[in-house]
Amino acid sequence: MEGLRVNFHTFGGEVKALDGVDLSLRRGEVLGLVGESGSGKSVTALSIEGLLPGNAEVVGGRILLEGRDLLKEKPGQLRSERLTKVAMVFQDPLTYLNPVLTIGSQILDILETDRRAFTHTVATARLQELQAAGGARTLTEAETRERERLQSLPPDGVLGKREFKRLARSYVVATLRSVRLPEPERIFRMYPFELSGGMRQRTIIAMALVRKPTLLIADEITTALDVTVQAQILELLRELKTEIDASILLITHDLAVVAEVCDRVAVMYGGNIVEVAEVNELFKDPLHPYTRGLLAAIPRPDAARGELTSIKGSVPNLIHPPSGCRFHPRCPQAFERCPLGKPPPVEAKPGHLVECFLYGG
């Protein structure tokens, strides 16, 4: 993602929500995107998906996925990228599930949208299942014939509608099982309101996983859950990280979550990425004053009693953002240069980028 700029047209004026966001994600990596509310984390995610609300406008930049610019794609193409490549997991698992459709049909919808694209996935899953069954017992004649037929399926072959549906069902059930849901066959037939918050979040994750995406965007997936369920979901995410071959963009305002699962962290403030570093590096040696403030604001049970540390001031008004570095009005180390221009990214250490004049630029 290079120099992404997004504006929102509102009655109050233009909200410059993203002001030149640069972000890169390597294959198989988990990148944490942290920042307080209103810093532009979700807008970043939605622009990758091409699902910004109607009053938003991308005014500049590129979003490259495997070399193709998503911003230049036609709506239909972008939709099929969403279908097969970029999956998103959302915040609140109750409001994001359709209340009147069963869990199973909501996941099946995805697969049935493009039979051609998912035939391979579904057939492979069935073959693996038969393989596993074959290890435990001898396959029936019908199963053997099915295996032969699936194995002889050409790489660009498409399954018939009914067979696809049958295999897709068992694949969806297997996926529900893979996100550690108990009794997946039963959950397949249940409605969202019959599940607990953690279970709903798992089904939403399953919705993303059935597509075998190359990029998984997880937007505040633990925020709406209570702490024990949060821990379970994070545990699941960590396990899945090793099982699936996807890059994960984990959006959160919770630094503890970042420390748990991420490889690298990007810190956002007021529509800018202010610092990017390996997760250990960032926690050990934060460079940007905002990052330092964030880390200092984490309450510690061992610290002396007293007031909680906070960053003074509040998130800037993005209709009239502060000139230069958007953090300077709140920055304890601001100096005369800060309001004058936007600081360029500086590689302060190898792999550790920071946008702050304290480190040159």
Partner 1 sequence: MKLYEYAIRRILLMGLVLLGLSLLMFYLTRGFLPPSFALAPYITPRMNSAEKLALAQSLGVATQSCPSFQAFSSYQPSCLVPVYEQYAGWLGNVLKGDWGLTLLPGIAGTQTTLSVFFSRFPFTAELAIMGAILTILIGIPLGIVSATHNNKLPDHLSRIVSLGGYSIPQFWFGYVLLIIFVLYVRVGGLGLLPGSGALATTCAICFRHPGTVSAATGAPILDGLLAGNLRYAWDSLVAMILPAITLSITSIGALTRIVRSSMLEVLRQDYMLLARSKGLTDRVVIYRQALRNALLPAVTVAGLLTAFLFGGVVVIEIVFDLPGVGYTSLQAVNVFDINFIELYVLVTALIIVVTNLAVDIIYAKLDPRIRY
87 binds partner 1 (CB under 8 A): yes
User: For partner 1, which residue of 37, 100, 135, 300 counts as binding (CB under 8 A)?
Assistant: 100
Question: Least distance from C-beta 78 to partner 1, angstroms?
Answer: 9
Other C-beta atoms lying within 10 Å of the C-beta of residue 164: 20
66 binds partner 1 (CB under 8 A): no
55 binds partner 1 (CB under 8 A): no
Question: Least distance from C-beta 203 to partner 1, angstroms?
Answer: 11
How far apart CA 221 and CA 214 sit, in angstroms, is 18
* Nearest one of 287, 228, 238, 236 to 259, comparing CA atoms: 238
How far apart CA 149 and CA 167 sit, in angstroms, is 13
Indicate the helix (H) or strand (E) that contains 291.
helix 289-296
49 binds partner 1 (CB under 8 A): yes
* Nearest one of 34, 89, 360 to 215, comparing CA atoms: 89
Pairing verdict, β 68-69 and 272-278: unpaired
Q: Which stretch binds partner 1 (CB under 8 A): 88-96, 143-151, 236-244, 348-356?
A: 88-96
108 φ/ψ angles, rounded to the nearest 5 degrees: -60, -35
**One character per residue 156-195, x = contact with partner 1 (rule: CB under 8 A):** -----------------------------------x-x--
Question: Least distance from C-beta 65 to partner 1, angstroms?
Answer: 14
279 binds partner 1 (CB under 8 A): no
* Nearest one of 88, 93, 37 to 254, comparing CA atoms: 37
Helix ranges (H only) for 14-114 are 41-49, 75-84, 103-113
Q: Which stretch binds partner 1 (CB under 8 A): 57-65, 89-97, 179-187, 335-343?
A: 89-97
Residues in region 303-342 near partner 1 by CB under 8 A:
none
73 binds partner 1 (CB under 8 A): no
Question: Least distance from C-beta 231 to partner 1, angstroms?
Answer: 24
The CA-CA-CA angle for residues 157, 159, 160, to 5°, reads: 135
90 binds partner 1 (CB under 8 A): yes
For residues 251 and 325, which CB has a smaller minimum distance to partner 1 in the complex? 251
217 contacts 81 by C-beta, under 8 angstroms: no
How far apart CA 46 and CA 78 sit, in angstroms, is 12
User: For partner 1, which residue of 92, 129, 163, 254 counts as binding (CB under 8 A)?
Assistant: 92
209 binds partner 1 (CB under 8 A): no
Q: Which stretch binds partner 1 (CB under 8 A): 9-17, 106-114, 288-296, 316-324?
A: 106-114
211 binds partner 1 (CB under 8 A): yes
120 binds partner 1 (CB under 8 A): no
User: For partner 1, which residue of 5, 62, 68, 79 counts as binding (CB under 8 A)?
Assistant: 79
How far apart CA 79 and CA 117 sit, in angstroms, is 13
146 contacts 125 by C-beta, under 8 angstroms: no
How far apart CA 334 and CA 336 sit, in angstroms, is 7
Question: Least distance from C-beta 217 to partner 1, angstroms?
Answer: 9
227 binds partner 1 (CB under 8 A): no
346 binds partner 1 (CB under 8 A): no
121 contacts 212 by C-beta, under 8 angstroms: yes
How far apart CA 287 and CA 308 sit, in angstroms, is 21
* Nearest one of 169, 159, 165 to 116, comparing CA atoms: 159
Question: Least distance from C-beta 282 to partner 1, angstroms?
Answer: 29
How far apart CA 184 and CA 230 sit, in angstroms, is 21
Site size for partner 1 (CB under 8 A): 29
95 binds partner 1 (CB under 8 A): yes
Applying CB under 8 A, the residues found at the interface with partner 1 are: 49, 51, 79-84, 87-88, 90, 92, 95-102, 109-110, 113-114, 191, 193, 204, 207, 211
